[in-house]
Amino acid sequence: MRDGFVKAAAASPALKVADPAFNSSMMIGMMRQAAESGVSILVFPELSVSGYTCGDLFFQSPLLDRCEDALEDIIEASRGLEMLVFAGFPFRYRGKLYNTAAAIWDGRLLALVPKRSIPSYGEFYEMRWFTPSPEENQWIDTRYGRVLFGRRTVIGFRHPEALAVAAEICEDLWVADSPSVQLALSGATVIANLSASDETIGKEEYRRSLVSMQSAKLVSAYIYADASIGESTTDMVFTGNSMIAENGSILAYASAQSGSFITADIDTGRLAAERRRMNTFHPADGYEWIYVGNEERETVLTRSFAKHPFVPESSGERDARCRRILDLQALGLRTRLEASHAAKAVVGLSGGLDSTLALIVAARALRMLSRPLGDIIAVTMPCFGTTARTKGNAEKLAEAYGATLMTVDIKEAVMQHFRDIGQSPDDLSTTYENSQARERTQVLMDIANKEGGIVIGTGDLSELALGWATYNGDHMSMYGVNASVPKTLVRYLVAYEADSADSAAAAVLRDILATPVSPELLPAKDGMISQVTEDIVGPYELHDFFLYFIVRFGFPPRKVFRMARIAFGGDYDAATIRKWLVTFIRRFFAQQFKRSCLPDGPKVGSVTLSPRSDWRMPSDASAALWLEEAEGIDIG
């Protein structure tokens, strides 16, 4: 369970109603199968030892006696498996019968968690046989030893510390005040639901939504094991509609009649990080903890990780997300233009991706305001590294969008500045590059003053993370519309616009998409771009991956490296991933001073680096801890 990853399973074995010996043999077989798969948490359905549909046979002592024998067999079979097992068990106690989840670990019965919400409506008659859970926990003596009895129970793991498991049973999920709410607030990061939910038209979709939403509300994983083949079909049909969810996402799913055993890798570290971040997740008291698992185990991951975590994987969802992001960016700019009474929106148009996106957003904002697109002043400012391709694309783009085009050649101004400060034009140093970026910003600011407008910033989230911006140059604007959009997403947004634009705009947008990303601050070679950003700082898709998991969840470098190897295994070798991970950490820490004085900009995603909202960090913080771990990663 290294790095907080835990393999969980929901199993729906074939069973025979009122045949505990058969049922336990099926369950033990699945326990061994799960152990061979590296499962650490295994959840069986409600009353899986007896069968859910026994009816008045629950009044029969022979059935209950054999259920106790069968549970003993299951407990013994768990010895040495290092797996927490939840089995559905009808438990007799002080003259009452309880529908319980038996929590089993390494040859021990740890706890019996009784169902609280006992349905007696429609096709359900449980109140006829079962008693609701008592309010308070108690330690009781059973044939299996001293056991914690009660629903206020959490089973914590010593490794990983973020793994804490609790159980509720079927109807408990469907009620307004589910026990899992308080269990999660008490510290449980994984909820097991032992269920016997019958199938009716429309119920599968509702059940899936319910599990997904509950895991999202609780910032937890939710393992839902549903009864399947073998339950009585006298009045109901059961199909084993099991699933495993994590914070709103369904990780594994057994659709009706599709199977009986599913597994998924749960990231408890991610859940713990989310809860630490959310100060509205208030802890609850009054719950008892039992601890298991003394040693850290390796989890062989079968979970995949998206290469581009900021970008939806399905094309339909991606298009909807792109449309929504563009709308949010435009709405933010619209409000700022109105509030500042700006007569013009001034955009420095380079012919690159970021300034293209800024122009697209500005056009949308002006359409929202029913203002002419000529109120956008698109300024192209050629200098030493500008190529005919990018300059031409900037001019064509301004024309396609109806913006007012201005061309200000800054070569002479920059040369004069070099003479003023004693900089040789042959010295292609940082000063040579940054002088151009700062001159461009000065031109834009002064045009905005002259025209009564505001300067629209073009820099994106990836550049801010890496500090790939000139301080008080392209780093500065009056409203940065791309500030929370990473480079990988910028590309998709421009591509989305190209797919919906007219032919003239689409052609230039597609050529911009095909142009290497470059600040064009060094002289061109044979008319071609000589300075390719990703050759210098590394692939943006890797940096965006690092950014998402380090900043969003606080993951350590070792874990991020492990995930990146899975996501990019066919694209980059281990040495390359580690190299750019070290680069990311080094640059991220060193460049915080640029992020401490960012202009305003709209938050459109879950990660931003604004010092006023999502990211507060001292500019002189040490990167030593992170670099030590990253540089020490074994790439063998």
* Tokens (6 digits) for 559: 């874990």
67 is catalytic: no
What is the spatial order of strands in the sheet that 145-149 belongs to?
138-142, 145-149, 108-114, 96-105, 84-93, 41-43, 5-11, 261-267
**Which of the following is catalytic: 54, 67, 170, 383?**
170
Between CA 502 and CA 520 the distance in angstroms is: 28
Count of residues making up the chain: 636
d(CA 37, CA 574): 26
The one catalytic residue in 67, 82, 115, 520 is: 115
User: What SS3 state is found at 153?
Assistant: strand
Tokens matching residue 378? 């698109």
Is residue 170 annotated as part of the catalytic site, yes or no?
yes
240 contacts: CB under 8 Å, gap ≥ 6: 12, 45, 226, 227, 228, 229, 254, 256, 257, 258, 259, 260
In the numeric block, the tokens 């380079």 are attached to 350
Does residue 151 contact residue 98 with C-beta atoms inside 8 Å? no
Q: What is the Cα–Cα distance from 357 to 260, expressed in whole angstroms? A: 48
Q: What is the 3-state secondary structure (H, E, C) of 4-50?
A: HEEEEEEECCCCCCCCHHHHHHHHHHHHHHHHHCCCCEEECCCCCCC
594 carries an active-site annotation: no
Evaluate whether 243 touches 224 at the Cβ level (below 8 Å): yes
**Dihedral of CA 511/514/516/518: which sign?**
positive
User: Are residues 150 and 285 in contact, defined by beta-carbon separation less than 8 angstroms?
Assistant: no
The secondary structure of 76-138, three-state, reads HHCCCCCCEEEEEEEEEECCEEEEEEEEEECCEEEEEEECCCCCCCCCCCHHHCCCCCCCCCE
% helix / strand / coil in the chain, to the nearest 5?
A: 40, 20, 40
Catalytic (active-site) positions: 46, 115, 170
